[in-house]
Amino acid sequence: AFKGILNIVTSTTFIVPIIFLTNLFRQKDLTVADRRRMKPFMKLFCAQVIMGLCGTMLTTAIAIFIDKK
């Protein structure tokens, strides 16, 4: 039961910002300059997600290594 709740919370922390940024980027009242300014932010957000996933995988790999030793 705890793993299910943990998976829901973890998934939500990735899904909610993606939905928010997608909706923000699709707003019709944004100017071309605003969209141009948002693109680097979107790239940084994607890099943040990749770093978070790598960190999670690394800690899991370390836990498995420690468990076997």
1-18 pLDDT, tens digit per residue, is 788 898 899 889 888 988
The Cβ-side half-sphere exposure at 33, using a 13 Å CA radius, reads 0
40-61 pLDDT, tens digit per residue, is 988 898 898 889 888 888 888 8
Tokens read off for 54: 């790598």
In whole angstroms, give the CA distance from residue 6 to residue 40: 31
Q: What share of the chain is helix, strand, coil (3-state, %, to 5)?
A: 90, 0, 10
Q: Are 21 and 42 within 8 A, CB to CB?
A: yes
The residue extents of the domains of the chain are: 2-68
DSSP 30: -
0.85 exceeded by pTM: no
